Homo-oligomer: A and B are copies of this chain.
Amino acid sequence: MLGLMQNQQLLISSLIEFAERHHGNGEIVSRRVEGDIHRYTYKDAGQRARQVANALDGLNLAFSDRVATLAWNGYRHLELYFGVSGSGRVLHTLNPRLHPDQIVWIANHAEDSVLCFDMSFLPIVKAVHGRCTTIKHFVALCDANKLPVDSEIPGLISYEAWIGAQSSNYQWPSFDENSASSMCYTSGTTGNPKAALFSHRSTLLHALASALPDALNMSARDTVLPVVPMFHVNAWGLPYSAAMTGAKLVFPGPAMDGKSIFELIESEKVNFAAGVPTIWQMMLSHVQAGGLRFSTLKRTVIGGSACPPAMITAFNDDYGVEVLHAWGMTEMSPLGTVCSLKNKHLTMSSDEKMKIRLKQGRGIFGVDMKIVDGAGEELPWDGKTYGDLLVKGPWVISDYFKGEGGSPLVEGWFPTGDVATINADGYMQITDRSKDVIKSGGEWISSIDVENIAMAHPAVAMAACVGMKDPKWDERPIIVVVKKPGSTVSRNELIKFYDGKTAKWQIPDDVVFVDAIPLGATGKMQKSKLREMLKDYKFREPEDATESHG
């Protein structure tokens, strides 16, 4: 027997419709590529999203046709989020930090029909347009009078002229909530890039669960700054959850430096910001250097890669900003865990709380997880036993687009490629990426643990631990370090710094100082490239005893 409740599909259009109707005056503020600050409301965004939908109809785009973007976080990108998906097309957010050859490969693989791009990315589009065989329409996200006349891009049109010619009357269509809504390619380390193909249903459920008090805790009282790019797993879903809750949205545009982000936080009274550790490190450096204070910022969500403890401490202790450690993957829409406290933790000392905050957090409702051993057997949640982390849930992928790479699931679970522990309260902690774990003398050494100790040294700006082949121990860790400008630290001083902070056999055997550690398109350290850089590395004679196990 079926229930007798209204049949209403979970559609992305319902988010902007709700925001327009219930939060029509809610503000959306964007720093533009043009340099100025643009402000308008959810009502304006809704009207222009409907113009986008009409404009796409005007191009005779079919249901599920892909519309690609190469764009910063801003109001026009937001309109495309709702106009493209809401009208039944698939939003494909291209990552502009990829190599042009990769962009070409991805756009062709996705079979994009339209490409909308910020003017910052005109050089990329000039370089790739001739090779993107499926793109029929190029749209520059600018006013008609800013359109370059000599771009050589065939039929290039300005976004403002394009949507300006359209009516804002549009009835959002209803269709199966399992229809594809958007897609995002992962920066896979092996093989070709693979795309997660999100659905309206998965996006709505993710938005609901991610806005819960135990997750991102979003309400109509928040002013949210998504520093995480809208081309990076839909800015962790923030454009959707903001519309769902009527939160004020503040977009940084192309100005992603510490100073610009700080100024935007202060001028727009942002209380909640989200981004990857590298961005926060830049901002923290800016704030520390200038002796500045945050007057409204209350919490930051940090994800994308593990957050160094020193950063959490600095935000918490020096600036009164709560750091929410979060973890997820493109394949998870992306949120899997957020490290919010439970009732029992509230009376703990701040040191004890910090131990919890360092973990990646608890599964948000909808996501289940488990850790397994090499044979696939589930391991206990004791906070010590580590194993391969698997997840499942309604916003976790079942397959990659076009079946690329074969079925990723193992008996219904998605293997994350992370190694983790889970404690009795359900708090998960990544100990490493499976491929980065250092296997030394039959024991595992977490590269992240080794990095975090180095990161706590005042002279260290960035640190990467990699395993080097060793005839005796199989692998031994070395630490690759970028020094802070003007700081000095010697190899021996840094090795000494590990004393008492970890087991002797986990202390790296060597320090390699470099000018820069290669970062991927999403700001993560690229250890595969680092290993390539170090392919001629040879262990030097140890200057003190760090070899013995135990």
- Which positions in A face B, CB cutoff 8 Å? 1-8, 10, 17-18, 21-26, 63-64, 90, 176, 178-181, 196-202, 205, 208-209, 211-214, 217-223, 244-248, 333, 340-344, 346, 362-363, 365, 368, 392-401, 412, 414, 424-426
Contact = CB atoms under 8 A, between A and B. Distances in A.
Contacts of A399: 4
A446 B397 CA distance: 53
B221 A346 contact: yes
Contact of A211 (B213, B245, B392, B414): B213
Nearest to A244: B365
A152 to B, nearest CB: 32
B219 A214 contact: yes
B3 A365 contact: no
A181, A214, A344, A399: residue with the most chain B Cβ atoms closer than 10 Å: A214
Contacts of A197: 1, 3-5
A223 B342 CA distance: 11
Contacts of A3: 178-181, 197-202
Contact of A396 (B6, B180, B208, B340): B6
| Cβ-closest 3 pairs across A and B | A3-B199, A1-B64, A213-B219
Contacts of A397: 4-6
Contacts of A214: 219-220, 245-246
A366 to B, nearest CB: 8
A19 B246 CA distance: 29
Contacts of A247: 343
B343 A8 contact: no
Given A212-B212, A363-B22, A4 B218 contact: no
A8 B211 CA distance: 20
Contacts of A18: 363, 365, 368
Nearest to A1: B64
Given A90-B1, A197-B4, A340-B220, A245 B394 contact: no
Contacts of A426: 21-24
Contacts of A341: 220-221
Contact of A6 (B24, B180, B398): B398
B342 A246 contact: yes
A395 B5 contact: yes
Contacts of A217: 213, 219
B392 A6 contact: yes
B221 A212 contact: no
Contacts of A395: 5-6
Contacts of A368: 17-18, 21
A212 B6 contact: no
A221 B342 contact: yes
A439 to B, nearest CB: 30
A428 to B, nearest CB: 10
A221 B343 contact: yes
A22 B196 CA distance: 27
Given A24-B424, A213-B213, 16 more contacts: A1-B64, A2-B178, A2-B179, A2-B180, A4-B399, A4-B400, A5-B333, A6-B395, A6-B397, A7-B398, A8-B393, A18-B365, A23-B426, A25-B424, A211-B213, A214-B219
Nearest to A409: B6
Contacts of A246: 214, 342
Contact of A25 (B219, B346, B393, B425): B425
A411 to B, nearest CB: 12
Given A25-B425, A424-B24, A219 B208 contact: no
B245 A212 contact: yes
A113 to B, nearest CB: 13
Given A343-B223, A365-B208, A1 B179 contact: yes
A198 B1 CA distance: 11
A344 B24 CA distance: 13
A212 B202 CA distance: 18
Contacts of A392: 6, 8
Nearest to A15: B365
Contacts of A425: 23, 25
Given A214-B245, A365-B208, A426-B22, A5 B220 contact: no
A481 to B, nearest CB: 38
A268 to B, nearest CB: 11
Contacts of A25: 344, 424-425
Contacts of A222: 343
Contact of A343 (B6, B212, B220): B220
24 contacts: A1-B63, A1-B64, A1-B179, A1-B180, A3-B180, A3-B199, A3-B201, A4-B398, A5-B198, A5-B199, A5-B394, A7-B398, A8-B392, A8-B394, A22-B426, A24-B424, A208-B209, A213-B218, A220-B340, A220-B341, A221-B342, A223-B343, A245-B365, A247-B343
A64, A219, A248: residue with the most chain B Cβ atoms closer than 10 Å: A219
B396 A213 contact: no
Nearest to A182: B3
A5 B363 contact: no
A393 B22 CA distance: 14
